[in-house]
Structure formats: C-alpha cells, structure tokens
Amino acid sequence: MCLGIPGQIVAITDEPRMMALADVSGVRREVSVACVLDRPIGDLVGEWALIHVGFAMALIDADEAAKTLEALRDLGEAQEALEAMEEGAKALEADA
C-alpha cells in the first residue's frame, strides 16, 4: 500500500476532475493527476508518474520508471498493486 508504482499517462479522461488514464504494466486504470498538474493537462500525456492508490504523486523519467518497476517486481509489490487495482475494479462491478 505504501509504495508507488510507475505508470504512463496515456490519455486525459475528465479534464475538470483532473482524471487521466494510466497504463501500469499493461493494466489501464483511471487516476487523478491533480498532484502533478504543473502544466496544461494535455501535456501530461506520455509522461511517467509514480502512482499511489489511484493518484499520480510525482512525475519521473522513463529510466527511473523502468528501474523502479524492476525493483517492485523483485519485491512482489508490483503484483500486489496490480491485484489491488483488479480488486478495485471488481468492487465497482458488483453493483454495475
């Protein structure tokens, strides 16, 4: 829960709510970019961010993202984060 996982911002989904779609190790998930909005929101597309419980918390470079992902995979944290994302999606589906 405490470690962020790198994801790449691939699209803006809701500009007023500052929401974007991030690709985290092949899993796509909507995240808030409120904390890293230091430029026009559209310019975030293509950037890498450290994503923590659904929020992009810091922008990082691609090299750092790759290294961090590798470390998280070794620690088993990457898998945990991906499973948590899946659980989150399921929790929502239960009522859809």
Partner 1 sequence: MKYASEFRDPKAARAVLARIATVADQIGATREKPVHIMEICGGHTHAIFRYGLDKLVHEGVEFIHGPGCPVCVLPMARVDECVEIAKRPEVIFTTFGDAMRVPGTKKSLMQAKADGADIRMVYSPLDALELARRNPGREVVFFGLGFETTTPSTALAIQQAACESLSNFSVFCNHITVPEPIKALLDDPHMVLDGFIGPGHVSMVIGIHPYDFIAQDYGKPIVVAGFEPLDLLQSVLMVLEQIRDGRAEVENQYSRVVPEHGNPVSITAMADVYEKRPSFEWRGLGEIDASGLRIRAAYAAYDAEEKFGVGYAAGPRHVPEPEGCACGQVMTGRIKPTACPQFGKGCTPEMPLGALMVSSEGACAAYWQYGGARATEAAE
CB of 91 to partner 1, least distance (A): 4
Residues 13-42 close enough to bind partner 1 by CB under 8 A: 17, 29-32, 34-37
Among the listed residues 26, 40, 46, 94, the single contact to partner 1 using CB under 8 A: 94
Reading phi first (left if > 0) and then psi (alpha if -120 to 50, else beta), residue 68 is in alpha
Concatenate the DSSP letters of all residues of 42-65 into one string: GGGTT-EEEEETTEEEEEE-HHHH
Q: Single out the residue of 3, 10, 11, 21 in contact with partner 1 (rule: CB under 8 A).
A: 3
Q: Any contact of residue 77 with partner 1 (CB under 8 A)?
A: yes
